[in-house]
Every structure is written in C-alpha cells, then in structure tokens.
Amino acid sequence: MTRSEDEGASLGLQQPSSDDRDVAALSPSLSKSVIGSAALLTASSGLTRLLSMLTAPILTSVLGPSPYGVVALAGTATALITTLALVGVETSYTRAFFSGDPARRTAVERFCWRFVASTTGLVSVLVGTGWLTGFSEMLGIPREIAPMIIVGTLAANANMMVMTAARLRSVWRRIAISSAVSGIVTSASAIALALWWRKDAWALVLSAAIGGVVGMAVVGGVPLANLARPSGLTRQQRWAIFQIGLPVALTAPMYWVLSSSDRWFIGLLQDEHSLGVYSFAYNVGNFGALLNVAVTQTWLPETARFYEADPGSAPAAIGNLWARTFVLMAIVWLGVSASGGDVIRLLAAPEFHAGAVYVPWMAGGIFFYGLYHIANTGLMLRNNLRPAAAWWLFGGALSLVMNSVLVRRIGPMGAAITATVSFAVIAAGVLWSSQKVLMLELPRLRLALVSGLLLVVGLCLARPWHESALLSLALKFPVGVIAAAVALWITAPAWLLHTVTQITRRKR
C-alpha cells in the first residue's frame, strides 16, 4: 500500500478503484484542466468586475465615499464570522471527496453540508442576539452593521458550499455562467436600489446578496437532500474528515487580520472618508483576485484528482504547472499595477483619485495570497496543514504590529504595505514547509528571472504616463505586453508559441 493509500485509509475512506484510475488517465491533461478552467472562470469574473467598474461613476457620485467605508467594515466582520462558521470544513469537503467510492462521497458531502448549515445558523443567531442586546456596540461594531453581517454570513456560506459542490463535479462552464449572471444582477440591483430606494450602504449590501442568490440558483441551488438526511458516517470517520480542515479554521482569524483588519485600523486611526477612498482603491487593486480565485477554485480539486490517480508522476507534472501558474499571476500583478491608478482616474469621482498610489501594493498582497494557495500544494495533498497554520499565526502577528505602526504614521499606505509584506512572508514560509513534505520540481532560476523582470517593469508602469488616463493606458500597454511575452518565453515558450500561432491564424 502506498503512502497516499495509507492516508486515505486513515480517514476511513475507500481508495479509488482501478476503473477510477483509468478514467483519470483518459481525462485531459492536468495543465488543461487547471489553466483552461481557470481561464473560463477568470473571464466570467472579469465580466463581473468590468460591470462593477462601469457602474462606479454612477454609484460613487450618488453614494459618495462613506457608504463604501461602512460596507468595508461590514464586509471585514462578515469575512471573519463566515470563516469561523465554516471551521475549515469546506477544505475537508474538497480533499475527502476524492478519497472514496460514490457512496462514500455522498456521505462525506452530507456530513459537510449539515455541519456548515448548523454552524452558520448558530453564529447568525449569536450575531443577532448581540445586535438586539447592544453587545455588538460594546465591541465597537456600529449598530447598523450587525444586520448586514447576518445577511452577508448566510449568503456567503451558502454560496461557498454550493460552489464547492459544483467545483468538485468540474462543471466549470456552469460556474462561469453563474458568476456572470450574478455580476449582472448585482450591478443592476445596486444602481436601482441607490437611485430609487436609499442612498446608503444597504444598496450595496442587498444588491450583493441578491446577485449571490441568483448565482446559486443558476449553478443548481442548495441541495436540500444533503440537509435532510444524516451522513451515515461513524463518529470516527466524521472526526477524521473534520481534522483535515481544522488547521484552516485555526488560521481563519489570521486570514481576517491580514485581509480585513487594515480597514478597521484605518477607520479607527484615520477617518471614514480615507477609509472609503482606500476601500474603492482596493476594489481596483484586487483585480488580480479574478485569476487567483479561479486558480484556487480549480487547483486543489484537479491536483488532488491527479495525485490520487498517479502519485508517482505528480511532483513533476504539478511542479511544471506550478511554475506556469506563478508566471500568470505575476503578469496579472503587472497589469493591475500598471493600469489601476489610471482606471481610478478614469472612472471614479475626483474624491477617490488619491487612492491610485495604493493599487500596486494592494495588487502585491493579492498576488502573494494567490501564491500561498499553490505553495500549499504539498501540505494539502499530504493532509498536513499544521505548518501552514503556524506560518499564518506568524503572519497575522506581523500584520497587527505593522498596521498599528504604519497606519498611524503614514495612513492608508501603511495598510497596503503591510498586506503585501505579511502575505509574502506567509507564502514563502508555506512554500518552504510544503516542499519539505512533497518536493515539487520547480525551475527556480527561471522563476527568479521572471520575478525580477516583472517587478522592475511594474514599478516603472505604476505611475501615470500622461495627464489623460486613456492616453496613459495606451502608452503603457505595449510595454506591458512585451514584458509579459518575455516572461512567458522564459518559463513557458510552448504556451507563447501556441498563443502567437492562434493569433496569426485568426488574422488570416
């Protein structure tokens, strides 16, 4: 019995049959599965983000900066509460799903759904109780934010589980359509609510919830059968599954510290106007999350499927894909850093233009967070996330210290710098730990060359090249394309040649 089989047996889960392995061998390549699916999801998410940017001139002029600040606080609190409610079970769901036969997979799925439904309901009741009793205000949470947190928690966790179930079945096209439809409904609802109902944060909160519900309906909705029937798993089996994602639950507060506490520091140490400007700039700076989220959604299901089917060739195949994915995320950082400031000047009201200088740092934080997810591959496949939890604890402590010092001294820029540095430390540490348990074959020299090239070019393109935002974007575009082409030539020449060939054929 191989080590991967031992690990599966320890979970009380049956290993894939020979038929399953044959199916895996006949499936598309790992690279096509991950990158192709990620490209599809990125395109749909890009459409959603484009719609949000196109609605920005209307919403920013109607609402002003303050509602964005309120939503930022509600969103950060919701992010913490939802991750605490999940307790890492979404990770257990993803990893354990592929370790058994169809009957056992159904049992795993029912257990995870029932567990998340119970914890989400419990935390929502606790938040509601705190709101009604005034306890939330004692913690410094404005009274108006508590109901927003309840709405956001219910919608976010339902959406997480619905999309996880869809990803495990590789219905990427349906997920992409769901994302696009959700984005359209969210944007239309936000404008309608802001113009004809109320001009405050609720217009943004409710539109997001409405869009999320519609998106879940498109992808299949909540499978009520998973909630109605017990899993049939023994207590030992449930505990084994739960343990896979438990370190993720322990790091949830640290993720909140790194990704959300910056807005609380700005709100406490600066003012609501600065927070609104920062929050809008973040919406532009996290454009890189479009690819990161898509890769995150496809990476673990597809690499786990590949690893379970052929653990012997996994280090080389996954390592090759790892390098290409790294370069794609770095190119996205370049694009966001180069265009983000000009996009803000082009679309937003003048009050928001000061946030342009934060974008490269915000994009850097998003890049390193995405890097963490692929750096975590070895730990995830070996079902040992404890080292990652340790690095998250260290990164969270570093973030708190840096935010408390830098935000007080240099304002929102300190928060943007803190996020980049903290996520970079975590990504590097997790990669080091992950390579110790499952050594992926990575082209280190080529990755270093690409990193240096794109960093230098990105810093040069970050500032505006002309007073006109459109002309500035036009001047930067060819430089960015050349830099991206060189980066791909260094790490993935076959991809570059294929892309050039396809473009040439279309022109003919």
Interval 248-267: pLDDT, tens: 766 767 777 777 777 778 77
Q: Are residues 129 and 215 in the same domain?
A: yes
| 382 and 272 in a common domain | yes
Q: Single out the residue in 250, 271, 286 at which a domain terminates.
A: 250
Q: How confident is the model at residue 482 (pLDDT cuts 50, 70, 90)?
A: very high
Spatial CB neighbours of 131, under 8 Å, sequence gap ≥ 6: 143, 146, 147, 150
Residue 11 lies inside a defined structural domain of this protein = no
- Do 179 and 141 reside in the same domain of the chain? yes
Using CA atoms, how far apart are residues 17 and 268, in angstroms rounded to an integer?
57
Mark whether 355 and 453 lie in a shared domain. Answer: yes
Characterise 336 by phi-psi region: left (phi > 0), alpha (psi -120 to 50), beta (else): alpha
Domain end marker among 219, 250, 281: 250
Among 71-85, 314-328, 378-392, 460-474, name the one with the lowest average pLDDT.
Answer: 71-85
Whole-prediction pTM value?
0.66
Residues near 102 by Cβ (< 8 Å), separated by ≥ 6? Answer: none
450: pLDDT confidence band, cut at 50, 70 and 90? very high
Residues 289 and 214 in one domain: no
Q: Is residue 288 domain-shared with residue 416, that is, in the same domain?
A: yes
Residue 1's pLDDT band (cuts 50, 70, 90): very low
**Selected residue with higher pLDDT from 69 and 193:** 193
Please choose, from the candidates 386, 376, 369, 379, the residue with its C-alpha nearest in 3D space to the C-alpha of residue 424: 369
Q: Which two tokens stand for residue 431?
A: 């990669």
Q: Is residue 297 part of a domain?
A: yes
Of 34, 42, 47, 69, residue with least CA distance to 180: 47
Do residue 411 and residue 266 come from a single domain?
A: yes
Same domain, 200 and 311: no
Q: Which residue has the higher pLDDT, 154 or 100?
A: 154
9 within some domain? no
Predicted confidence (pLDDT) at residue 48 exceeds the cutoff of 60: yes
Q: In this structure, are 265 and 331 located in the same domain?
A: yes
Same domain as 341, residue 203 = no
Q: Chain centroid to CA 317: how far?
A: 24
Mark which of 190, 217, 250 sits at the end of a domain: 250
Q: Is residue 6 part of a domain?
A: no
The reply to whether 280 and 351 lie within a common domain is yes
Asked if residue 165 and residue 83 are part of one domain, the reply reads: yes
- Residue 34 included in any domain: no
8 Cβ neighbours under 8 A, 6+ residues apart: 14, 15, 99, 100, 308
Q: Which domain holds residue 225?
A: 44-250
Burial letters for 490-507: b for 16+ Cβ neighbours within 10 Å, e otherwise?
A: bbbeebbeeeeeeeeeee
Q: How many domains does the chain have?
A: 2
Q: Of residues 198 and 18, which shows the higher confidence score?
A: 198
